[in-house]
């Protein structure tokens, strides 16, 4: 009888994800404040945030023309993830129209990068349904950054 109960319990835990492997990805390049490139060549766009742009399109090419706080957002993103293994969490839509992965990104220490960038005031919320899982957390982080006059909310 104990063997049957144990087996049922083990199956329940396994199917509920109790033994699910967490996959980590190595960040080989930080493109800007809200986009990174992984070692496998995939690009990841952070869900729920938008940082100032570092480049703009000019005649079919790209020109370095950072908006205010774009450089700070990129540098902070680098500090959090460059050269590290991160964990990706996906929402309902896994890719955008540019075929980038859409994810909530976690540092090796378990901090959500999307939220940390908002907290510093280096991003504003950009909620695109159906990827709205952490809307409330992001809204709270943005409100605090605004209230504290941080980053893009300074003036």
Catalytic residues: 45, 53, 100
Q: Which two tokens stand for residue 19?
A: 């033994």
What is the SS3 assignment for 83-135?
Answer: CCEEEEECCCCCECCCCCEEEEEECCCCCEHHHHHHHCCCCEEECECCECCCH
Count other C-beta atoms under 10 Å from residue 30's C-beta: 21
């Amino acid at each position: 009888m104990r063997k049957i109960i144990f087996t049922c319990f083990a199956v329940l835990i396994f199917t509920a994800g109790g033994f699910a492997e967490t996959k980590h990805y190595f960040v080989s390049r930080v493109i800007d404040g809200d986009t990174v490139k992984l070692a496998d060549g995939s690009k990841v766009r952070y869900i729920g945030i938008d940082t100032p742009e570092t480049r703009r399109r000019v005649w079919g090419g790209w020109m370095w023309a950072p908006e205010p706080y774009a450089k700070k957002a990129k540098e902070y993103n680098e500090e959090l993830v460059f050269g590290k293994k991160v964990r990706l969490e996906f929402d309902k839509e896994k890719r955008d129209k540019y075929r980038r992965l859409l994810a909530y990104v976690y540092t090796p220490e378990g901090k959500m990068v999307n939220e940390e960038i908002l907290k510093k005031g280096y991003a504003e919320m950009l909620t695109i349904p159906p990827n709205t899982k952490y809307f409330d957390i992001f809204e709270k982080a943005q409100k605090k950054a605004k209230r504290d006059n941080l980053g893009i909310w300074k003036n």
